[in-house]
Amino acid sequence: MENQPNIRIALVEDHELIRNALSKMLAELPTFSFVFNAANGREFFDKLKDNTIDVVLLDLEMPIMNGIEVIEELKNIKSKIKVIVLTMYADLDMAFDVLSLGAHAFLLKESSTRELTCAIEQVFLGNDYTNSFMNKAVINNLAESRKAKTRAEHLKLDQRDLRLVKLICDGFSTKEIADLLPASRKNVDLLRTKLMKKFSVSSGNELIRVAILNNLYKPRTNREILLEIEDDSNAMTKRRISKLKENHIKNFGKYDD
């Protein structure tokens, strides 16, 4: 790639042998400038304070701060660093999740040097990069989403029903669900009873199992649950403010911020 400045790269990998081998390989590639490596996400951010990079190669399973948390933090601070996940786990759901979260590419550690180089160059330039595994991840997710939608339609589940299923599977109590929907505890109990009838189950545990089997719920971490609740809360606040503005304009004319 003529006249292109060296691409500054960092590597985050907890296995020392793999980290050292990849670092050596990256340092020898002519179009790249290998800046630093780190054993976990926390070390990565510590080193990032004193270094500037364009692309980070990121493992997912790490102690202290894992790859998912790194991607989320980069997103929170609005970083322009391009993220390429480099993992040994050929998991289609995982690939789709990290791509949805903001990763620019998902590569397996068995990938060739040529593929890795191509991915780095493409994401650095701001181009879309894909490979057969990433394509399979997207197709798989679409297929699972269609199955879930078909099952929900068959059971005549509306958006509130699906929200309740998710909250039950997340492990929230009736009181917590009532606060989050929002609804009264009595109404939550009534909705739960109707759901169990639709699913033809007699216990909460059966409801969770059937929901997972029908692709209506995917187990997630506490962090993912809390982030969704925060997003829902922010969205609700924005809707309320918008409604107040509409009412103000309707009753008093132009709204002044």
pLDDT (mean) for 188-195: 90
Which structure tokens are listed for 122?
């493409």
- Domain ranges for the chain, please list them: 7-138, 145-252
The helix or strand, by DSSP H or E, that contains position 239, with its residue range, turns out to be helix 222-252
Asked whether residue 199 carries a pLDDT value surpassing 50, the answer given is yes
Provide, rounded to the nearest whole percent, the portion of the chain with pLDDT above 90: 41
Pick the CATH number of 7-138 from 3.50.50.60, 3.40.50.2300, 3.10.129.10, 3.40.50.620: 3.40.50.2300
Asked whether residue 8 carries a pLDDT value surpassing 70, the answer given is yes
According to CATH, the topology of domain 145-252 is Arc Repressor Mutant, subunit A (1.10.10)
Distances (CA, A) of 247 to 233, 234, 236, 237, 253: 21, 20, 17, 15, 9
CB 35 within 8 A of CB 8: yes
pLDDT (mean) for 136-153: 73
* pLDDT recorded at residue 182: 82
Q: Which residues contact 189 (CB under 8 A, 6 or more apart)?
A: 174
- Number of Cβ atoms within 10 Å of the Cβ of 222: 9
- DSSP codes, 150-197: HHHHHTT--HHHHHHHHHHHHT--HHHHHHHTT--HHHHHHHHHHHHH
Rg (CA), the chain: 23
pLDDT (mean) for 21-46: 93
Q: Which residue has the higher pLDDT, 174 or 254?
A: 174
pLDDT band per the 50, 70, 90 thresholds, residue 1: very low
pLDDT band per the 50, 70, 90 thresholds, residue 247: low
Q: What is the pLDDT of residues 56-78, one digit of tens each?
A: 999 999 988 999 999 999 999 99
Q: What are phi and psi of 158, to 5 degrees?
A: -95, 180
* pLDDT recorded at residue 243: 65
pLDDT (mean) for 128-134: 83
